Amino acid sequence: MIVLYGLPVSTYTAKLRLALHWRGIAYEEREPEGGYRSQAWRLKVPMGTIPAIDHNGFFLSESEAILEYLEDVFPQRRLLPEGAQERARVRMLARLHDLHLEPRVRALFPLIQQPEQRTQLPALLAALKDKLQRLGEVVQAGPYLAGAQPSLADCGFAVTLPLAQRLLNAMGEDLALPDALSPWTLALEQDEAAQAALAPWRLATESWLQAASLKGTRT
């Protein structure tokens, strides 16, 4: 049994939950005891991050490390293809998400609670659109980002791209994804496992947006 430690609103928890659903791995989801900023959690994860897993007493943090571990210990329905070049391409796309796109989206968070900072929005939006344009040039939506089946390349983008659109919508902006991603977007919408995995995150994100907007109104 896998125990997944995380929070519903966490994008990286949702990323890992999606991988578990796609692979059909049974798991139990729990919030970190005392909260992920607590001293008790830091004793388990010194960096104080989420998600983490406990697999029969083996404790592991960092989403990419966890995803690779799952590939090694659960051979059914792998999310890495067989060929070396295909596997490398999937890993490359996953790095593009974690290192280039996700930080651009995360930079939008403070602007939700602090409207006075929205003077930064045009520059942040331009940088995000630039990364999206570059992403559209490297994906091979067929219909998933690296081929006909879901892979590790899809897990992060399936959370972060809808999040970017929702954050910008809350600030009165729209974000159109590159045309190259249209088949991928449609595939995700029709993917029952993906929709089930992302449902807790969507609900938590809407609750967070509502609370954050109210806080921003009061300040």
List the CATH number of the domain containing 208.
Answer: 1.20.1050.10
Q: Which residues, in sequence order, are CB contacts of 13 under 8 Å at separation 6+?
A: 4, 6, 7, 50, 51, 201
Number of separate domains in the chain:
2
> Quick check: 148 and 86 in contact, CB under 8 A?
no
Distances (CA, A) of 177 to 4, 6, 36, 109, 130: 31, 28, 33, 20, 11
pTM for the model stands at 0.93
Nearest CA to 13 among 29, 2, 35?
29
179 and 127 part of one domain: yes
Question: Does residue 95 sit in the same domain as residue 178?
Answer: yes
Same domain as 194, residue 98: yes
Residue 79 lies in a domain: no
Residues 63 and 137 in one domain: no
pLDDT category, 33, cuts 50, 70, 90?
confident
How do residues 155-188 score in pLDDT, each as one tens digit? 999 999 999 999 999 999 999 999 999 999 999 9
Q: Are 138 and 88 in contact (CB under 8 A)?
A: no
* Separation of CA 218 from chain center: 30
Which of 73, 98, 127 lies at the terminal end of a domain, its last residue? 73
Domain hosting residue 117, numbered range: 84-218
Is the pLDDT at 73 greater than 80? The verdict is: yes
The residue behind tokens 């943090």 is 61
Average per-residue pLDDT for the chain: 94
Q: Check whether 50 has a pLDDT greater than 80.
A: yes
Is 118 a domain residue? yes
Kindly state whether residues 21 and 64 are assigned to the same domain. Answer: yes
Q: Are residues 100 and 10 in the same domain?
A: no
Report the candidate in 131, 219, 119, 97 with the shortest Cα–Cα distance to residue 171: 119
> Quick one: 39 and 112 in the same domain?
no
Does residue 78 form part of some domain?
no
Unique residue bearing structure tokens 């290192």: 99
| Same domain for 120 and 21 | no
